[in-house]
Amino acid sequence: MAQLLRLRAAGELRTAHVRLVADAVGVHIRTVWTWLAQAEGTGSPEKPERRRFRVTEEVIEVLADYQGNVKRAHERLVEMAVAAGERPPGLTTLHDAIARDLDPGFMAGLREGIPAARGFDPAFQRPAVARNQVWEGDHKQAETVVMMPDGKPAKVWVTWFEDRGTGYVMGWAVTAGSAHRGSVLAAVRASVLREAPYGPPGGLPHLVRVDGGADFLSKTVRRAFGLLGVPVHQVRSARHKGGVERLNRTSMTRFFADLPRYTKAPRLDHRRRLGDTDPPLMFEEFVRLLGEWVHQHNTEHVIERTGMTPLEAWQADPTEIRPEPSASELRAFMLESDHRPRKITSHGWSSTAAPICPRTGWAGSGSRSVCAGCRTTPTRSTSTPSAATATWPGLPQQRGQRGTAGQGAPRTRRAQPGPATRPETLRRAPTGTPPAVHPARGARARCAYDRAGGPRRT
């Protein structure tokens, strides 16, 4: 239009010029003549704005008076237009103008208040970080029902940590019943170790980002991270740890939805869901399938943010990895303690009123018991624990909670005695039980059974 206006001002404009512009933009020649006339009338070669209804301050005040109710605001605008002798806007026109000129967050604030408007605030993208710079951890309840070894159906929880820089799932743990601080420690152990079957990614992170869950903020978990030299940052909202939240939603659509007895399956009526009659998975089978899916996610799933799989992104990052502690040191860091001093005597160390042997963890039945081996025999289960009750030795486990099975966790392992182990229930040994050497005192000092020349009252 600017060139045609110059030709018109110089008196050199011809129909051939107008036809050339019409062929170039793909419109009729009369349309170009109309545009030229409008440009001469406005004095600008720019396309004039379309005449339409727009939201003004007066319309916004009416919407605020009626708390964002567009229907009632339209009725009020019609009354005002009729009183002023003007043509009122239509309801559809008002809806279109609001959708075009006002933000959804503004309308949500008018309807429900400022907290609802904040839900539409833009979430700023965090800057890219190197591997092991930031980890994000969370619990996720599996949206399926599994069958426990005791024949009872139960839901399980998955606890995992994801590296924010590469998207790699560092480690995970499965807990039957409800997740607890032992689940967090089992997932941390699987995330830190680099030896088989955990690695090659691993090591210590520079920061761990979690929400306000009581398990992640417990004294035991904070103490374990403190001994590892890893600070823990609590975020105020779930969107501030969007990496692991994205992993939770991905597991819903790519893993849990394909399992039998999926609890979010379409409803057949108000009681039944699709697949309710299917046999549930066994707990061990669920753990195996989850491990396969995590491996596939780490090695085959391409993340749009990096354009690589998590494993490829990890291997391509040249950032130095903080060395992790040994397996024995890591186990010691994750033992739970009540931080009370224990006095070790010739009878062992004492918890409440029952002496406990420092090597075997056996406790006496009274305050005067000398050796658990000479007077009493602890009641120990001879059955092998199943995978559903497998947990790492020394991890805290609350009453009424089932065990935790993690990535590469042994399925049959008995918890070792330690400060967090309860004294086991004791029963009297049968009469005539041969005396035992106290393991803490050695072969030179026999127990009270021998010194007294036979049984005596205790």
357 and 432 in a single domain? The answer is yes
Rounded distance, CA 253 to CA 245, Å? 13
Does residue 123 form part of some domain?
Answer: no
Percent of the chain surpassing pLDDT 90: 40
Which of 33-47, 193-207, 361-375 comes out lowest in average pLDDT? 361-375
187 and 308 in a single domain? The answer is yes
Does residue 125 form part of some domain?
Answer: no
Does residue 446 form part of some domain?
Answer: yes
> Which CATH number belongs to the domain containing residue 296 in this structure?
3.30.420.10
Mean pLDDT of the residues in the chain: 77
Q: Which residues have a Cβ under 8 Å from the Cβ of 254 and sit 6 or more positions away?
A: 293, 297
| Per-residue confidence band for 313, with pLDDT thresholds at 50, 70 and 90 | very high
Does residue 126 form part of some domain?
Answer: no
pLDDT score of 386: 31
pTM, two decimals, is: 0.58
Q: Which residues have a Cβ under 8 Å from the Cβ of 90 and sit 6 or more positions away?
A: none
State residue 345 phi and psi, 5-degree precision.
Answer: -115, -170
Whether 138 shows a pLDDT value over 90: the answer reads yes
Encode pLDDT of 116-135 as tens digits: 888 787 766 778 899 999 99
Which of 301, 333, 365 is at the close of a domain?
333
Does residue 404 form part of some domain?
Answer: no
Does residue 405 form part of some domain?
Answer: no
Q: Which residues have a Cβ under 8 Å from the Cβ of 113 and sit 6 or more positions away?
A: none
148 and 207 in a single domain? The answer is yes
Give me the domain span that covers residue 431. 345-398+420-458
Distances in Å between the Cα of 157 and the Cα atoms of 187, 301, 330, 336, 453 are: 12, 23, 23, 22, 56
Mean pLDDT of 398-425: 46
224 and 324 in a single domain? The answer is yes
Encode pLDDT of 30-51 as tens digits: 888 888 888 887 777 777 667 7
Name the pairing type of β-strands 208-210 and 232-234. parallel
pLDDT score of 404: 54
Whether 260 shows a pLDDT value over 60: the answer reads yes
> Which pair of structure tokens corresponds to residue 300?
């085959």
Which of 278, 307, 333 is at the close of a domain?
333
177 and 297 in a single domain? The answer is yes
142 and 285 in a single domain? The answer is yes
Whether 433 shows a pLDDT value over 70: the answer reads no
Does residue 211 form part of some domain?
Answer: yes
pLDDT score of 351: 58
> Which pair of structure tokens corresponds to residue 395?
């991890």
pLDDT score of 348: 67
Which of 122-136, 165-179, 257-271, 366-380 comes out lowest in average pLDDT? 366-380
273 and 172 in a single domain? The answer is yes
203 and 88 in a single domain? The answer is no
Mean pLDDT of 256-264: 89
| Per-residue confidence band for 160, with pLDDT thresholds at 50, 70 and 90 | very high
pLDDT score of 43: 73
Percent of the chain surpassing pLDDT 70: 74
| Per-residue confidence band for 399, with pLDDT thresholds at 50, 70 and 90 | very low
pLDDT score of 188: 93
| Per-residue confidence band for 405, with pLDDT thresholds at 50, 70 and 90 | low
Angle, CA 19 vertex, CA 18 and CA 20 arms, to 5°: 90
Number of domains into which the chain is organized: 4
Whether 428 shows a pLDDT value over 70: the answer reads no
Which of 333, 356, 383 is at the close of a domain?
333
Does residue 52 form part of some domain?
Answer: no
What residue type is assigned to position 314 of the chain? W
84 and 16 in a single domain? The answer is no
Q: Which residue has the higher pLDDT, 364 or 176?
A: 176
Q: Which residue has the higher pLDDT, 347 or 174?
A: 174
Whether 172 shows a pLDDT value over 80: the answer reads yes
pLDDT score of 385: 31
309 and 188 in a single domain? The answer is yes
Strand ordering across the sheet containing 156-163: 232-234, 208-210, 135-141, 156-163, 169-176, 404-406
pLDDT score of 338: 66
Encode pLDDT of 321-357 as tens digits: 998 888 888 877 777 766 677 777 777 666 555 555 5
83 and 225 in a single domain? The answer is no
Whether 66 shows a pLDDT value over 70: the answer reads yes
201 and 329 in a single domain? The answer is yes
pLDDT score of 413: 44
